[in-house]
Amino acid sequence: MAVAEDGPIRDLGASEIAGADTFETSQKQSSYEEISPEAWEGRGISAAELLSSLTGVEAHSQGGVGSFQTISIRGIAGQDILICVNGVPLNDGSGGAVDLGRIDLNQVEKIEVYKDRVPVKFGGSGVGGAVNFITKSAKVSNQESSGKFLAAYGSHNYWETAIQINSAITDSVGFTAGVSARHSDNDYEFKSENGTPYNKDDDFTANRENADFTEYSGSAELRILHGNGAFSTLAFNGAYAEGGNPGRGEFQTKVAGYEGENATLSYRLESPELLGWLWLTAGLSGRFEKNVSHSYYPLDHIGYFSTEYLEYGAAGYHLLPEITAEYLGERLVATLRIAGGFDRMEARGTSREWALERYSGNAAGEVNFHITRWLATSGEASLQLLQDDIDGGKFVLPTATQKLKTASNRDASYSYRGAILLTQPAGYFGGHISLGRFYRQPQLMELYGVYPGVVSNPDLKEETSLRFEGGLFASTPKKISTLRVTYYETAVDNGIYWVTSGAFMKALNVGEVRIRGLELNLESHPAKFLQVLMGATIQKALDHTDDVAYRDKNLPGEPVQSYYTEAKLQLPFHFDFTWASSYRTKIYEDRGNRLEQPAVPNHRAALGFTPYTQTRFVFAVENITDETYRNAYSPFPMPGREYRLTFTQGF
Amino acid sequence: MKKQKFKINMVQNLLLLVALITWACGDNSSSAESPETSSSSEMDCDGAGCVTSACTDRTVFIFGTDYKAGELRWIEEKAEHAAMISEDKLDFYQDSKIINAGGNFFVLERAGADNLTLLNPCKKEVLWQTALEDYSNPTDVVMADESSAWMALEGAQNFVKVSVADGKILKTVKTDVFTSKGGTSPNLADFAVRGDTLFAIFQRYVYDAATYTSTYPKGLLAWYDLKTGKLLDTLTLATKNPAMMATTSENLYVATQGEYDEMWSLPADENRGIEKVNLAKKTSSLFVTGAKLGGGATDIAVDEKNAVAYVAVSAGFSKAVVSVNLKDGSVKELKDISGADGGFYFDAKSGLLYTGDRTFSDVLFYDGKDVLVVEKGDVAPLPPYGITVSGK
């Protein structure tokens, strides 16, 4: 909700050493949540694992540091969730979910999670909510230079190092930059049934091979206060990663791997107050990413049936111009955003050349009006137009019945949402309801698949979702404890699934989904030295398709119940201790609910020591009970218990 | 010819149902037995060798998959319905073939799992399961003798003889000389047996990563001594991409798919079809062309008694099943069967042709006159992918 998230997001100060010595309750609604660095620094958890500590969010991982990781939010899978860095979408045209395993949290200052919608500032497109990673920002008013150094070492030869520098170049120019590197051999031990669940005699234990991961990333931001009161911000972030592709547990690879690189450069100009009521922001962002895999079939037995060393992948270029106008009145807050977009994807590696382009235009607006001190309403809407270009039809894999010459024209897409908020002025209790319609246009690869075995489907329709949410919150006197309860219901129509038939894959609008759920959150700090978080999600996320094999089955990866609890203790002698436990009921990996993963608990703990204000050590243990669950037909073994020691020094 | 649900519709289908139930009950039983009450079916290593010969039930098994998960179900007799798909199931890898070889019921888990499993079809229990060479991709099993079987491996440069008693490999026959230059294996697609001869067809394709297509030389037929695996001779087929074989007492027929065109379709032309092999003259020629069939031939089964071959035809996404008169090569489309992408099996004993329809997750059977659909009841099986009948 805009009311809950108001305030500029770009004027955050530079990162401080995490580990506050007092606690405060924070957010009143579970549909929008913020996560700050103290939740992850030194604890050795990935972005997906971190997000899954929120109610309604499930993490999905292929195992190991840097492995492919996604989340689902309130039953909606990763490909329908908009993932942004500083408001620039990472979702490329591949039709899949964004890989959260490649996000280095060392570069991140704050994470915004929108479970109920895609906000206007991101264009309103996406049926399953949005996550925005905000990188560390320069601060103009800070007269002192500062910085932070981090080094960590852990199981499986995990190492990580990062340095962040913040500097006030002049009174009106601030600068921050950070670089980091992380690596893991990911050679964890796993048990395998050898793919023969009916034969226990050939089960074995082995170490994961060819699973190493190394990443280098960096970010920089220059923020300038102009003489007329306007701000300019020039920001860059980029990363390079490489690693092995270990393949299935039973059949480990030797050569297969990947390289990925991305870079985003953006400029933003924020006006001073105009006409006494108007703020304007204009921005232009450019993003490049390239991901190339390689394999050698005779040794790896993955990829394509060839005796040659093969490389295959894609590069993407994205341009996002936008302008935003904001009105901040006493009772009325309004935002209008106009944005364009250009996306181009083209072949990399040894595969045949192809190129796909998309031009888009988006208009979105939002109005929040405080009717009384207790009552507020909000409304938002967006409209998007798209035009695709398939590079003159030079190469698009045909269906059996048509060969594409031009891209299909796409209808305009729209979203809308209305909400009513009731909040006691002192903030002790309140509630809200909202109803919205959202959409996701098919990605380029879903429409015009260009890889072997992927068949194009230019007639794909947009996915749509209708989402209802109602919530209540109440706080005890002095706000020591806050209870939040949220009911949500989502209907997704024309869900896009990759359907396999023999050797072919084709994206089809076959998904009909009905999800109902309840989130319960209790946040309490009964003593100055203690904070407790408890969360529970109980949901029915069911496939509602007409296909009898799937109808009324649980959606893949979605448990009926999941629980999370965390306790943070401030201890004597500058120690602090965090314990977190989670539990989810069984899940299925497939739409037919045949591939079951059992219910699993996860416990993690972190002991922190801050001998000096700027110096901190954290020893963390992940997966304390060493859970290594997996299904015999599941190709990705999970790591067991892991340890990590992190040292942080501020300056 | 009519297509209808297989609830008991006595007037129209009485004879067919009686035939089915009688056949389903086995040679000497009065009714189909449930898994719990089936007759003894442990491995029998005496008498007829190490086979599951003690299990005489003839049950229709259906392997279903959505290419994510795989399951084996079977057709059961129920009080209110003549035949229904079972509620019980056994889980297997998503890409598996089921084959009855001499009364031994094998499950071949294909590339990515690469296992061989022997099942007790009466108890619906796994007798043994063994892992094969990685990505060897088993495609067929035929009996070599009473206690061992030859297994075709599409992804390996060999095929192997395995013990029926425990799945252990007894012999390996190299096929690397048949691999095309640039190929990873000779792509052994199917076995057939006639007398003391083992026939094997090789697709020998080469994948071109630059164009995402495979190029095929003409298919290769090789034949071996059934007992020893000694190579006896080879023959280059008339067309490309052979898929399956069928034998009669006099002839060997090969169904060929031919090459895919740029639309990834198998056009109805003269470059594919049904080849008839003349072993005496060492020649092979198209007996029925793809033009007459309507596309490439992906499977074939022969009803020798009626001199008819049933052929599964694919023209890309368009699929059909036709019958071919083996005397004159005339073709007749079975219009109530919309392809056999979900399984294709002819049971010579009952004279029934079973096909699977993946679009509607239906299992159909055809008696030469009518097409009927097996009831699913409340069961929601995965779409069918393979069908076979157990027993001898």
A73-126 tens-digit pLDDT: 999 988 889 999 999 988 876 667 889 998 999 889 999 999 988 988 998 888
Name residue A399's beta-bridge partners. none
- Whether the pLDDT of residue A534 is over 80: the answer is yes
Most confident among A306-320, B205-219, B230-244 (mean pLDDT): B230-244
- Tell me which chain A residues have a C-beta less than 8 angstroms from the C-beta of B383: 549
Q: What's the count of helices (H) and strands (E) in chain B, helices before strands? A: 2, 32
Most confident among A284-288, A504-508, B38-42 (mean pLDDT): A284-288
Can you give the length of chain A in residues? 651
Q: State what percent of residues in chain B have pLDDT above 90.
A: 66
- Tell me which chain A residues have a C-beta less than 8 angstroms from the C-beta of B341: 501-502
Cβ neighbours around A276 below 10 Å, total: 5
Q: Give residue A132's pLDDT.
A: 96
Q: What is the Cα–Cα distance from B253 to B236, expressed in whole angstroms?
A: 14
Q: Give residue A436's pLDDT.
A: 94
- Tell me which chain A residues have a C-beta less than 8 angstroms from the C-beta of B377: none
Task: Judge: A548–B380 Cβ closer than 8 Å, yes or no.
Answer: yes
pLDDT tens digits along B289-347: 999 999 999 999 999 999 999 999 998 777 899 999 999 999 999 999 988 989 999 99
Amino acid at A70: T
Write out the DSSP string of B5-44: E-S--HHHHHHHHHHHHHHHT-SS-SSPPPGGGPPP-S-B
Task: Judge: A592–B69 Cβ closer than 8 Å, yes or no.
Answer: yes
The HSE-up count of residue A108 (CA atoms within 13 Å, CB side) is 26
Which of B132, B122, B138, B247 minimizes the C-alpha distance to B195?
A: B247
CB-based burial label for A401 (10 Å; 0-12, 13-18, 19+): exposed
Task: Judge: A501–B67 Cβ closer than 8 Å, yes or no.
Answer: yes
Task: Judge: B134–A250 Cβ closer than 8 Å, yes or no.
Answer: yes
Amino acid at A110: K
Q: Give residue A452's pLDDT.
A: 67
Q: Which residues of A96-129 are buried (b: 16+ CB within 10 A; e: fewer)?
A: bbbbbbbbbbbbbbbbbbbbbbbbbbbbbbbbbb
Q: Give residue B49's pLDDT.
A: 43
- Whether the pLDDT of residue A150 is over 90: the answer is yes
Angle B9-B15-B18 from CA coordinates, rounded to 5°? 90
**Of B112, B210, B263, Cβ closest to residue A400:** B263
Residue-averaged pLDDT of chain A = 87
The strand pair at B371-373 and B3-5 is best described as: parallel
Task: Judge: A595–B112 Cβ closer than 8 Å, yes or no.
Answer: no
Contact (CB, 8 A) for A300 and A247: yes
- Tell me which chain A residues have a C-beta less than 8 angstroms from the C-beta of B91: 197, 594, 633
Provide the shortest C-alpha distance from residue A306 to chain B (in Å). 6
Q: What is the Cα–Cα distance from A205 to A249, expressed in whole angstroms?
A: 10
Residue-averaged pLDDT of chain B = 85
Question: Three-state SS for A299?
Answer: helix
- Whether the pLDDT of residue A160 is over 90: the answer is yes
Provide the shortest C-alpha distance from residue A636 to chain B (in Å). 13
Q: What is the Cα–Cα distance from A127 to A414, expressed in whole angstroms?
A: 12
Task: Judge: A594–B69 Cβ closer than 8 Å, yes or no.
Answer: yes
- Tell me which chain A residues have a C-beta less than 8 angstroms from the C-beta of B112: 248, 251
Which of B17, B11, B136, B129 minimizes the C-alpha distance to B72?
A: B129
Q: What is the Cα–Cα distance from A25 to A33, expressed in whole angstroms?
A: 12
Task: Judge: A551–B380 Cβ closer than 8 Å, yes or no.
Answer: yes
Q: Give residue A301's pLDDT.
A: 83
Which residue ranges make up each domain of chain A? 32-650
Task: Judge: B209–A350 Cβ closer than 8 Å, yes or no.
Answer: yes
Task: Tell me the pLDDT band of A319, cut-offs 50, 70 and 90.
Answer: very high
Q: Which residues contact B19 (CB under 8 A, 6 or more apart)?
A: B350, B367
pLDDT tens digits along A561-590: 999 999 999 999 999 999 999 999 999 989
Q: Which of A506, A594, A595, A597 would best serve as a mutation to test chain B binding (most B beta carbons within 10 A)?
A: A594
Provide the token pair at A552: 């009324």
Task: Judge: A398–B263 Cβ closer than 8 Å, yes or no.
Answer: yes
Q: Which of A204, A294, A305, A310 would best serve as a mutation to test chain B binding (most B beta carbons within 10 A)?
A: A305
Please give, one letter per residue, the 3-state secondary structure of B236-303. Answer: EEEEECEEEEEECCCCEEEEECCCCCCCCCCCCCCCCEEEEEECCCCEEEEEEEHHHHCCEEEEEEEE
Residue A320, CA distances (Å) to A122, A221, A264, A266, A374 in order: 11, 18, 11, 9, 38
Provide the shortest C-alpha distance from residue A294 to chain B (in Å). 12
Provide the token pair at A430: 């309140």
pLDDT tens digits along B216-255: 999 999 999 999 999 999 999 999 999 999 999 889 999 9
Task: Tell me the pLDDT band of A402, cut-offs 50, 70 and 90.
Answer: low
Q: What is the mean pLDDT of residues A602-625?
A: 94
Q: What is the Cα–Cα distance from B5 to B337, expressed in whole angstroms?
A: 13
Task: Judge: B382–A549 Cβ closer than 8 Å, yes or no.
Answer: yes
Q: Containing H/E element for B91? A: strand B90-92
Task: Judge: B91–A197 Cβ closer than 8 Å, yes or no.
Answer: yes
Question: Three-state SS for A334?
Answer: strand
Strands of the sheet containing B352-357, edge to edge, are B3-5, B371-373, B362-366, B352-357, B344-347
- Tell me which chain A residues have a C-beta less than 8 angstroms from the C-beta of B360: none
Q: Which of A192, A193, A196 would best serve as a mutation to test chain B binding (most B beta carbons within 10 A)?
A: A196
Look up tokens 């235009």; give the residue: A361
**Of A301, A307, A351, Cβ closest to residue B135:** A301
Residue A284, CA distances (Å) to A228, A319, A341, A466, B369 in order: 21, 7, 10, 31, 70
Query: Which chain B residue's Cα is nearest to A396?
Result: B263
Residue A281, CA distances (Å) to A230, A274, B23, B288 in order: 10, 11, 79, 72
Task: Judge: A400–B316 Cβ closer than 8 Å, yes or no.
Answer: yes
Rg (CA), chain A: 24
Provide the shortest C-alpha distance from residue B176 to chain A (in Å). 14
Q: Give residue B44's pLDDT.
A: 55
E-only strand ranges, A441-529: 454-455, 463-475, 481-501, 504-527
Contact (CB, 8 A) for A91 and A82: yes
- Tell me which chain B residues have a C-beta less than 8 angstroms from the C-beta of A194: 131
- Tell me which chain A residues have a C-beta less than 8 angstroms from the C-beta of B212: 351-352, 397, 451-453
User: Is the torsion defined by CA of B294, B296, B300, B302 positive or negative?
Assistant: positive
**Of B207, B315, B381, Cβ closest to residue A306:** B207
Task: Tell me the pLDDT band of A23, cut-offs 50, 70 and 90.
Answer: very low
**Of B66, B135, B183, Cβ closest to residue A251:** B135
Q: Which residues of B27-60 are buried (b: 16+ CB within 10 A; e: fewer)?
A: eeeeebbebeebeebebbeeeebbbbbbbbbbbb
Q: What is the mean pLDDT of residues A584-609?
A: 93
Is the whole-model pTM more than 0.90? no
Which of A101, A90, A177 minimizes the C-alpha distance to A136?
A: A177
Provide the shortest C-alpha distance from residue A600 to chain B (in Å). 22
Q: Which residues of B335-368 are buried (b: 16+ CB within 10 A; e: fewer)?
A: ebbbbbbbbbbbbeebebbbbbbbebbbbbbbbe
**Of A305, A351, A504, Cβ closest to residue B207:** A305
Task: Tell me the pLDDT band of B42, cut-offs 50, 70 and 90.
Answer: low
Can you give the length of chain B in residues? 392
Q: Give residue B339's pLDDT.
A: 86
Contact (CB, 8 A) for B19 and B43: no
Task: Judge: B265–A591 Cβ closer than 8 Å, yes or no.
Answer: no
The dihedrals phi and psi of B188, each to the nearest 5 degrees, come to -65, 115
- Tell me which chain B residues have a C-beta less than 8 angstroms from the C-beta of A304: 207, 209
Query: Which chain A residue's Cα is nearest to B116?
Result: A196
DSSP A638: P
Domains and their CATH numbers in chain B: 182-333 (2.130.10.10)
Contact (CB, 8 A) for B1 and B335: yes
- Tell me which chain B residues have a C-beta less than 8 angstroms from the C-beta of A197: 91, 129
Task: Judge: A400–B112 Cβ closer than 8 Å, yes or no.
Answer: no
Provide the shortest C-alpha distance from residue A502 to chain B (in Å). 8
Rg (CA), chain B: 20
Higher pLDDT, B378 or A129: A129
Question: Three-state SS for B355?
Answer: strand
pLDDT tens digits along A489-515: 999 999 888 877 766 778 888 889 999
Contact (CB, 8 A) for B250 and B241: no
Q: What is the CATH number of domain A32-650?
A: 2.40.170.20
Task: Judge: A549–B129 Cβ closer than 8 Å, yes or no.
Answer: no
Provide the shortest C-alpha distance from residue B183 to chain A (in Å). 6
Look up tokens 């939040």; give the residue: A484
Task: Judge: B382–A351 Cβ closer than 8 Å, yes or no.
Answer: no
Provide the shortest C-alpha distance from residue B111 to chain A (in Å). 9
Q: Which of B95, B115, B314 would best serve as a mutation to test chain A binding (most A beta carbons within 10 A)?
A: B115
Task: Judge: A589–B114 Cβ closer than 8 Å, yes or no.
Answer: no
Contact (CB, 8 A) for B63 and B144: no
Query: Which chain A residue's Cα is nearest to B267?
Result: A400
Task: Tell me the pLDDT band of A459, cut-offs 50, 70 and 90.
Answer: confident
- Whether the pLDDT of residue B198 is over 90: the answer is yes
Q: Give residue B31's pLDDT.
A: 32
- Whether the pLDDT of residue B141 is over 50: the answer is yes
Residue A94, CA distances (Å) to A98, A246, A448, B6 in order: 9, 22, 10, 44
Query: Which chain B residue's Cα is nearest to A547?
Result: B360
Task: Tell me the pLDDT band of B138, cut-offs 50, 70 and 90.
Answer: very high
**Of B93, B210, B381, Cβ closest to residue A549:** B381
Amino acid at A530: L
The dihedrals phi and psi of B105, each to the nearest 5 degrees, come to -100, 110
Q: Give residue B81's pLDDT.
A: 55
